[in-house]
Structure 1
Amino acid sequence: MRKNIVITGGTGFVGRHLTKLLVANGFSVSIMSRTKKVNTENVFYYTWDVEKQTMEEEAVQKADYIIHLAGANIAGKPWTDKRKNEIVSSREQTAQLIYDTLQKTNTQLEAFVSASAVGIYGAMNGQAICHEDMQPANDFLGLTCQKWEVAADAFEKLGIRTVKIRTGLVMGENDGFLKKLAPVFKFKLGAALGSGKQYMPWIHIDDLCRIYLEAIQNPEMRGAYNAAVSDDTTNESFSKVLAKVYGYKLWLPNVPSFLIKLVLGEMSKLLLTGRRVSDAKIKKLGFQFKHTNLEATLRDCLSL
């Protein structure tokens, strides 16, 4: 009998790819959704209402594992005070609903795996390499991820093996941040942003999903893990490679920082700051990235 994995945020970019991988590896998947959808073979849909803190309890009762991906898109809308509250609360409230339902149904999980982000190290620039044992930054990105992970740590206190996946920029075909960048570079209008020196830790969607699978299958995985390739890609080097993939060299000057700040406000930090991260901890477990070459990854994701 297939073991069952509940995925929150399962209809999103990462969730869709992850569902396919899990089913292919012999699991059944239950996806939490705001609206009822038609079940397919080994993929089942259950409804929840996070604002009302209600969900179909059967989803949790049949779960062997839970993968928690749900949360408002941090780059989806400008960072007004209201939007900031939505970003944080969407992560805390969804985790709280799962936690309360677990206790109510007295369900015993084998593991709880939560998404997080390398943003926990903050909107920083510089040469410091970020390891999982570093303290969270005291800015919006750092505090958001910290609260996200604190919500996950509550499951650890219940005796459930808990894993937190600190994700970099996810690259995949026709989705993720490449979906917005590709048209600009395709028409030879690409340019580096600001100084161009900000680091851009990235990961191929296939490798990210394999890390989640590893978190389910490997009982040694516990705590936080960076999910990004340690190749020290900067915005400038990324932009040059992306232009190369489309068959030209960058010719436009860098987009000035002040212009990006004028348009995006505080959210401009997502584009103008970055961080170097270490992938040593996940590799120490024996995990091997299949996509480590930026140019090859971009060509794969863009089918070029």
Structure 2
Amino acid sequence: MRIMIAGGTGFVGRQLIDHFRNPENMIYVLTRHPEKHKDEPYVKYIEWLTPDSQPEIPIQQVDVCINLAGESLNSGRWTEERKRSILESRMTTTREFIRIMDTLKTKPEVYINASAIGYYGTSTEKIFTENTIVAGRDFLAEVCDVWEAEAQAAEELGIRTVLTRFGLILDRNNGVLPLFALPYQMMVGGKVGSGEQWMSWIHIQDVVLAIDWIIQNKTISGPVNFTAPKPKRNKDFGKKLAETLNRPTWLSIPSTPVRIALGDMSDLILKGQYVLPRKLQDSGYSFKYRSLDRALDNIYR
């Protein structure tokens, strides 16, 4: 199987490369700086998004395309300039991915484009599944909405298109969990804001395994929620994390200082959504980590 990945040097991308790196596959990783990476067995780094790059020439034919590229949501306060950068980075990479696939004589079997459960907006009461077809109205929902619309241009090329709406991806060293765990490790952990906001999470291993599942199951298309079947409220997530780390949970972090420090980005922490992985479950995917207890035990013990 020939796989083309953008964002392959990031958190999820590195895990996917490790998963698919074997004699049966060839992985092409699109990067602006191939000189910073050394080709490995079954992995080749290809230059893209530079003035003279033509990644379609060395690649020529692929079976699977995975686009994870885009500026991180978690790397700083959401100023107006940064909001533009967050949106433009996703639109630019997606359009270039579509262009590359359009040039290929033999089209890939599937195009997997990253998205986020932020598409749904936030709520403490609603339950969201892929049947929720109206996007929310906050910044992240608007980004996901236009991003997904751009990615769906791949369908016009006759390519099965999947939009992976990622929840909070749990890993010991990457993503949101290390930041969330830090106060507990320092003995000052507790709920954030009201503590009632939902945290729809997924273990990194299930992210990788579910992407593999989607590649193999050709009936799956459109938006797919990447969340475990059992979301937790922030206060309950914190209690389980404290128990796993053998730390107390007794302080609360008020909403106001979080909003002052992070601006609109605080919505990622203070608001949430209850999201269920209906399509994955209906297709027969079996989560390796269905419960938060088991996920955190695997990560920390």
| TM-score in same-fold range (> 0.5) | yes
Query: Can you give the 5+ residue segments of structure 1 that lack an aligned partner in the other structure?
Result: none
| Farther off after superposition, 14-23 or 175-184 | 175-184
Q: Which residue of 1 aligns with 2:69?
A: 70
8 Å CA contact 2:185, 2:247 repeated in 1: no
C-alpha separation in 2, matches of 1:198 and 1:27: 41
Q: Which residue of 2 aligns with 1:269?
A: 267
- Matched AA of 1:217: Q
8 Å CA contact 1:60, 1:107 repeated in 2: no
Q: CA deviation at 1:270?
A: 0.7
C-alpha separation in 2, matches of 1:189 and 1:100: 49
Q: Find out whether 1:165 has 2:164 as its counterpart.
A: yes
Q: TM-score under structure 2 normalisation?
A: 0.94
RMSD: 1.6
Q: Find out whether 1:42 has 2:45 as its counterpart.
A: no
- Matched AA of 2:20: L
8 Å CA contact 1:60, 1:101 repeated in 2: no
Matches within 5 A, 1:125-140: 125-134=123-132, 135-140=134-139
Q: CA deviation at 1:202?
A: 0.4
Q: 1:176 aligns to what SS in structure 2?
A: coil
Q: 2:281 aligns to what SS in structure 1?
A: helix
List per-residue Cα deviations over 1:163-208 (Å, max 9, x = no partner).
1111100011311111222332112111111000000000000101
- Matched AA of 2:295: T
Q: TM-score under structure 1 normalisation?
A: 0.93
Q: 2:158 aligns to what SS in structure 1?
A: coil
C-alpha separation in 1, matches of 2:291 and 2:219: 28
- Percent of aligned positions that are identical: 34
8 Å CA contact 2:22, 2:42 repeated in 1: no
C-alpha separation in 1, matches of 2:23 and 2:224: 22
8 Å CA contact 1:69, 1:114 repeated in 2: yes
Q: Which residue of 1 aligns with 2:102?
A: 103
Q: Which residue of 2 aligns with 1:11?
A: 9
Q: 1:179 aligns to what SS in structure 2?
A: helix
8 Å CA contact 1:118, 1:166 repeated in 2: yes
- Matched AA of 1:299: D
Runs (4 or more) in structure 1 with deviation over 6 Å come to: none
Q: Which residue of 1 aligns with 2:119?
A: 120
Q: 2:76 aligns to what SS in structure 1?
A: coil
Q: 1:170 aligns to what SS in structure 2?
A: strand
C-alpha separation in 1, matches of 2:212 and 2:23: 9
Q: CA deviation at 1:60?
A: 4.4
8 Å CA contact 1:188, 1:248 repeated in 2: yes
1:95–1:300: structure 2 CA closer, same or farther, 3 Å change rule? same
C-alpha separation in 2, matches of 1:215 and 1:95: 20
Matches within 5 A, 1:17-28: 17-24=15-22, 26-28=24-26
- Matched AA of 1:56: P
| Farther off after superposition, 52-61 or 268-277 | 52-61
Matches within 5 A, 1:242-281: 242-252=241-251, 254-281=252-279
8 Å CA contact 2:184, 2:249 repeated in 1: no
Q: CA deviation at 1:299?
A: 2.4
Q: CA deviation at 1:53?
A: 8.2
Q: CA deviation at 1:104?
A: 3.2
C-alpha separation in 1, matches of 2:160 and 2:58: 19
Q: CA deviation at 1:58?
A: 3.0
| Farther off after superposition, 82-91 or 105-114 | 105-114
C-alpha separation in 1, matches of 2:198 and 2:118: 12
List per-residue Cα deviations over 1:217-258 (Å, max 9, x = no partner).
111111111110131301100111111111133121x21111
Paired residue total: 298
8 Å CA contact 1:54, 1:97 repeated in 2: no
Q: 1:231 aligns to what SS in structure 2?
A: coil
1:117–1:179: structure 2 CA closer, same or farther, 3 Å change rule? same
